[in-house]
């Protein structure tokens, strides 16, 4: 099979653009590709999915250990003809930006994948080769196998290719010219979600057609050849299935596919619903999962759906096992400020009011320690989380202590009860042993299922 990881010296180099173009091109050539994202990003996998029509998967070496990441990659790449992994930030930028842990290089090293550097040349030529040489020698092995040039004119590509080959030994495998008509727009949490980009299919097709004209196909195949991965045999799902209501719509769209599969593996039947449009929770649901997303962009519609707000508040009050992360946590509060400064009523199951900060709040990886026993963790147990939000709450909770892995900065956060986890921290249940089973078993007990 074909396998590679696309990385760059820094964010903004065009990794998502080249990844989508390459995925579409591989699909057109009949290789049945699959896609992965390095790190905790939710938005880039949506673009991958828009290309392939199947989920993309996150691989995160902070939220899970190396053996788990290898198993997840094997599980989801099995049977495919190609696997493309999109890196995060700069190639060596890992936890805190000051360590390679959980960065793109760490992932390539863990999976032994060839790396294709995505470079935007700008006004450099020989200096670009010097940059590449630095990336090659900073860690050994670097796994760098080739270069893809982004927003590079045909004449510049022709000039750069022999210089890069001479100075670094690396081939320029392909390039994209400036294509403003195919760019993906951005906002406060990064790119717009794939569903919000007009003419996305046409944009990606244009990118793929262009890459198809410039990609050195034989050199690409030679650089990225990997052993085939046979399909894995999954263990039978334990116990009696139990229904979990999972919020999924434009307001609640940040959810790891691997967490959903971990819940399924633990015996859950996932029932998706929309807090924007549905009037009630799915029939027979014995657990509730409210993931993150953009509730602040949909606060009026969420507020006007009074029936759903009452249904959610009632479920939490009755002790239905509930997990609410980031946007889901804001939805459980008393009110939420929209982008225009107006405050709207929410479910009211928690005391806080969500409000706009205008900047990133407590951004990045952390580890939480439970101060009290609750739905997902016993007192003293820890779990890795990730936070990425521009909104805050007047009552963030104090049932967990969160601590940054590099600086050691700590703060109180979250609500933990026998039937509740609610906090800004996003969880990765596929990487935390026993967490999905704990949630599913709590739902079984609440429903009286033995």
Does residue 306 register a pLDDT over 50? Answer: yes
Task: Say yes or no: domain 242-447 is CATH 3.40.50.300.
Answer: no
Phi, psi dihedral angles at 23 (to 5 degrees): -60, -45
Query: Alpha carbon of 445 to those of 116, 313, 375: distances in Å?
Result: 49, 20, 12
d(C-alpha 446, C-alpha 448), whole Å: 5
pLDDT of residue 311: 98
- 197 pLDDT band (50/70/90 cuts)? confident
pLDDT band at 290 (very low <50, low <70, confident <90, very high): very high
Domain ranges in the chain are: 2-224, 242-447
Percentage of the chain with pLDDT > 70? 97
Residue 180 is predicted with a pLDDT of 74
Burial of 356 (0-12, 13-18, 19+ CB in 10 A): middle
Predicted confidence at residue 185, as pLDDT, reads 64
43 pLDDT above the threshold of 60 = yes
Mean pLDDT computed over every residue of the chain: 94
User: 237 or 88: whose pLDDT is higher?
Assistant: 88
Question: What mean pLDDT comes out for the span 58-70?
Answer: 98
pLDDT for res 182:
62
Q: What is the pLDDT of residues 357-367, one digit of tens each?
A: 988 888 899 99
Tell me if domain 2-224 and domain 242-447 are identical in fold: yes
48 pLDDT above the threshold of 60 = yes
What does the block give as tokens for 178? 């400036």
Please indicate whether residue 96 or residue 373 has the higher confidence score (pLDDT).
Answer: 373
pLDDT at residue 191, rounded to an integer: 58
Reply yes or no on whether the pLDDT at 68 is more than 60.
yes
**pLDDT score recorded for residue 122:** 86
- Whole-number Å distance between alpha carbons of 276 and 303: 9
Of the listed ranges 38-47, 142-151, 188-197, 441-450, the least confidently predicted one is: 188-197
User: Is 255 designated active site?
Assistant: no
pLDDT band at residue 355, thresholds of 50, 70 and 90? very high
Position 56 pLDDT exceeds 90 = yes
352: pLDDT strictly greater than 60 = yes
pTM of the model: 0.94
> So what's the pLDDT on residue 239?
81
| Cβ count within 10 A of residue 186 | 11
Superfamily of domain 2-224: P-loop containing nucleotide triphosphate hydrolases (3.40.50.300)
Q: Is the pLDDT of residue 193 over 80?
A: no
Write b or e for each residue in 261-292: b if 16 or more Cβ atoms lie within 10 A of its Cβ, otherwise e.
bbbbbbbbbbbbbebbebeebbeebbbbbbbb
Residues 6+ positions from 178 with CB-CB distance below 8 Å? 151, 153
Task: Reply yes or no on whether the pLDDT at 232 is more than 90.
Answer: no
Whether the link from the prior residue into 381 is cis, omega within 30° of 0, is: no
pLDDT tier at 373, thresholds 50, 70, 90: very high
Distances in Å between the Cα of 64 and the Cα atoms of 137, 212, 229, 337 are 27, 36, 21, 34
Per-residue pLDDT of 164-191, as tens digits, reads: 999 999 999 999 999 877 666 664 445 5
From the candidates 34, 38, 326, 396, which is the catalytic residue? 326
pLDDT of residue 188: 46
Q: Residue ranges of the alpha helices (H) in 112-242?
A: 126-138, 154-168, 200-214, 217-224
């Amino acid at each position: 099979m074909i396998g590679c990881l696309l990385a760059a010296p820094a964010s903004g180099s065009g990794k998502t653009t080249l990844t989508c173009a390459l995925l579409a091109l591989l699909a057109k050539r009949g290789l049945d590709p699959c896609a992965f994202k390095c790190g905790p990003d939710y938005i880039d996998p949506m673009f991958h999915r828009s290309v392939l029509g199947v989920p993309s998967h996150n691989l995160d070496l902070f939220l899970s250990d190396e053996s788990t990441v290898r198993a997840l990659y094997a599980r989801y790449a099995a049977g495919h003809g190609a696997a493309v992994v999109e890196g995060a930030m700069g190639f060596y930028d890992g936890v805190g930006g000051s360590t390679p842990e959980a960065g793109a290089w760490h992932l390539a090293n863990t999976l032994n994948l060839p790396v294709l550097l995505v470079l935007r040349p700008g006004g450099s030529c020989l200096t670009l080769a010097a940059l590449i040489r630095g990336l090659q020698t900073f860690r050994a092995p670097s796994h760098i196998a080739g270069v893809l040039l982004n927003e590079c004119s045909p004449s510049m590509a022709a000039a750069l290719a022999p210089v890069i080959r001479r100075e670094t030994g690396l081939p320029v495998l392909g390039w994209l010219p400036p294509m403003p008509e195919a760019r993906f727009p951005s906002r406060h949490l990064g790119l717009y979600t794939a569903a919000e980009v007009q003419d996305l299919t046409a944009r990606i097709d244009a990118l793929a057609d262009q890459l198809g004209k410039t990609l050195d196909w034989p050199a690409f195949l030679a650089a990225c050849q990997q052993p085939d991965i046979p399909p894995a045999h999954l263990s039978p799902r334990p116990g009696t299935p139990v229904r979990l209501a999972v919020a999924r719509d434009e307001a609640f769209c940040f959810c790891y596919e691997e967490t959903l599969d971990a819940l399924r593996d633990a015996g859950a039947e996932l029932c998706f619903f929309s807090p924007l449009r549905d009037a009630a929770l799915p029939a027979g649901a014995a657990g509730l999962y409210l993931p993150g997303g953009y509730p602040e962009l949909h606060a009026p519609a969420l507020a006007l759906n009074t029936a759903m707000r009452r249904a959610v508040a009632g479920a939490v009050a009755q002790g239905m096992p509930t997990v609410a992360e980031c946007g889901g946590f804001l939805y459980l509060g008393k009110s939420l400020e929209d982008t225009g400064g107006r405050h709207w009523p929410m479910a009211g199951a928690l005391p806080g009011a969500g409000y706009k900060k205008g900047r990133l709040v407590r951004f990045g990886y952390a580890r939480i320690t439970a101060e009290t026993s609750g739905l997902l963790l016993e007192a003293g147990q820890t779990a890795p989380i990730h936070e990425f939000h521009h909104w805050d709450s007047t009552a963030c909770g104090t049932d967990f202590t969160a601590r940054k892995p590099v600086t050691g900065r700590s703060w109180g956060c979250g609500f933990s009860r026998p039937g509740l986890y609610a906090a800004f921290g996003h969880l990765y249940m596929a990487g935390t042993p026993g967490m999905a089973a704990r949630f599913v078993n709590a739902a079984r007990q609440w429903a009286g299922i033995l």
